[in-house]
Amino acid sequence: MDTTLQDPLVGQLLDGRYRVDARIAVGGMATVYRAVDTRLDRVLALKVMHPALATDAAFVERFIREAKSVARLAHPNVVGVFDQGAQGAYVYLAMEYVAGCTLRDVLRERGALQPRAALDILEPVLAALGAAHRAGFVHRDMKPENVLIGDDGRVKVADFGLVRAVGTATDTTGSLLGTVSYLAPEQIEQGTADTRSDVYACGVVLYEMLTGGKPHSGDTAAQVIYQHLNQDVPAPSAAVPGLAGGLDELVAASTARDPEARPADAVALLALSRRIRAGLTEEQLDAVPPQALAEAHDAAEDRTSVIPRVIPAGQGTAHHTSRLEMPPSGPVGPGRGRLGSLTRRGRRGMVAAAVAVLLVLGLGAGVWYINSGQFTRVPALLGQTQSAAEKRLSQEGLDLKGVEKAWSDTVKRGSVISSDPGSGERIRGNDAVKLVISRGPEIVKVPDVEGLALGDARRELTGAGLAPGMVTREFSEDVDRGKVIRTDPGTGTERHADSAVALVVSKGSPVDVPDVTGLSVEDARAALDEAGLDTEVLADRVHSPEAAGDIARQSPGGGAEAAEGDTVELTVSEGPRMVAVPDVTGQDVDEARSTLEEAGFEVKVDRPFLSFSDTVGSQSVEGGEKAAEGSTITIRTKGL
């Protein structure tokens, strides 16, 4: 059964902008929806805090901290945050929508991965965490569920909902934040976490990718916690014989129980991973996990079910993005998306087979191929844009080995700084070239975008090498609606390239919303139009003390502030509900008052001159007759 049909937000327009189309996933703090930004016409994900938590200031603060933290990262391997806001009980983040699957989906379906595939996933994860660590943040909840693999092969880290500033006290007051299987010993013992806690969790995730199972297991969380505290994570080769010793070393270093024995942060672990990877042979990287071998023996048609060999998209910095070749699939969420059955025969194997055939047939072409025909030279690529360089390589019959980004004060952002092998160097015709692309100057100044339209301001920031960050809106008497009031950090501030810059956009001068309750629809529209506000009359009518056809209530209410052009929702009255009047004659005044008020009436007591009785002698509307709910019933006490 499609439970999204029962979700009150599905089909609604949140905050006048985000159309909620479907529910993707439900977590402990929030629900994630697929939505459309109706202003920019783009699909995104909305993470909406559970309304029950929105009344808790601490939860709201943590939720908003996630938005600010992730917006500051602006890293290609981090799920981006576009906006943050609230409407009534709904506090939300507008985030990048990633169509694909989670690493948990991959492990659930495939079990252990080939070492090459495991490292191709690990490295962009470490690149994302490295950017967070160097920016001063700790994720604190790394696990396969928070690693997203897009349909285009990009790997992204999600859910910084437990993020904390490095060095900030993280006393859990008796509860553990995070997932038990990936908690570092110091998180369990001391309730605190730093960059090395994320390193430990990544080591556990790597073990799980290499073996298909968690290093510690038990029937209860307490049993798993005990093993974290008292047992080292075992070598993956103990579970999968034949795995390279370097992989054991990588897991052991990252999951050392003593935090001091681990790499200091994700950047250091990324460097260690690349060093160990460089020492592995092609056979070691492409070792087939035991369950994949069994599938290959069981059925020939399943031979293509193993995770394919993937060429990493970058080597040498903490900001490269690895790409995995993935088939199309559904959006990321529980049970959504899957890896298709794929294999990729290495180009070397195909060439070797072709040469062998030529030699067996006694054709001289095989000798020509071995001696000279297999070589070419790397074309001139320096200064070209990345897309132009990739096109040139394709025209020369060369593959792209990967893309690395680096700072440059002389080469324009997005253009080629260098290649490996370099331009003009001799290269095998079946080999590949790695490109180093300029990120522009490492330090840039925030441009002056005040007074610009939001779209123009974003383009200015992007052109300067910065990332447009979270957008907030406020009233301004001086800046026109839709124009930028200021940036954070301010104009002229020096920042690392690719840093996020928040934008404050004007809502225009504030408009006092007139009170139109009790007016006819026509008069209410005229009053709101004169104030510069739009009107929406809701279809549903309600009973109210106002006459039928007049305005019963409005949102926002009279006296509130709104921006010119904002919409005021009007609800029309059906008139008062007619209610039977209780007979209270003969009752004590206090008892009669309580009876009438419970029935929904106002009560007025009339005492005749010189009357000292508290007994009701008569009432303005006889008992059993009907009167408008909320109207006043007069009761008169008995006279002398």
Nearest Cα residue to 188 out of 229, 223, 221: 229
Q: How far is CA 320 from the centre of its chain?
A: 20
**Backbone φ and ψ of 578, nearest 5°:** -90, 125
Using alpha carbons only, give the angle 497, 499, 500 rounded to the nearest 5 degrees: 145
For residue 226, count CB atoms less than 10 angstroms from its CB and return exposed for 0-12, middle for 13-18, buried for 19 or more.
Answer: middle
Q: How far apart are CA 27 and CA 141, in angstroms?
A: 13
- Catalytic (active site) residue 141: yes
In the three-class reduction of DSSP (H, G, I as helix; E, B as strand; rest coil), residue 621 is classed as coil
What is the dihedral sign for C-alpha 472, 473, 476, 478?
Answer: positive
- Cβ(17)–Cβ(42) below 8 Å: no
**Which residues 6+ apart lie within 8 Å of 374 measured at CB?**
351, 428, 429, 430
| Tally: H helices and E strands in the chain | 18, 31
Query: Scanning the structure block, which residue is given the tokens 């079946």?
Result: 430
- Cβ(585)–Cβ(633) below 8 Å: no
**Backbone φ and ψ of 18, nearest 5°:** -105, 115
- Cβ(147)–Cβ(126) below 8 Å: no
**Backbone φ and ψ of 193, nearest 5°:** -145, 145
Angle, helices 245-254/195-211, rounded to nearest 10 degrees: 150
- Cβ(501)–Cβ(466) below 8 Å: yes
The catalytic residue among 141, 159, 194, 265 is 141
Three-state secondary structure string covering 390-415: HHHHHHCCCEEEEEEEECCCCCCCCE
For residue 211, the number of C-alpha atoms closer than 13 Å in the C-beta half-sphere is 22
Please tell me whether the peptide bond between 447 and the residue prior to it is cis, using omega within 30 degrees of 0. no
Nearest Cα residue to 94 out of 507, 469, 457: 469
- Cβ(628)–Cβ(548) below 8 Å: no
Both structure tokens of 286: 């492409």
Strand ranges in 133-283 using DSSP code E only, listed in sequence order: 137-138, 147-150, 155-157, 164-165
Q: How far apart are CA 292 and CA 571, in angstroms?
A: 63
**Backbone φ and ψ of 598, nearest 5°:** -65, -30
- Cβ(576)–Cβ(552) below 8 Å: no
Both structure tokens of 142: 């790394």
Q: How far apart are CA 557 and CA 541, in angstroms?
A: 17
Q: How far is CA 66 from the centre of its chain?
A: 9
Residues acting as catalytic residues: 141
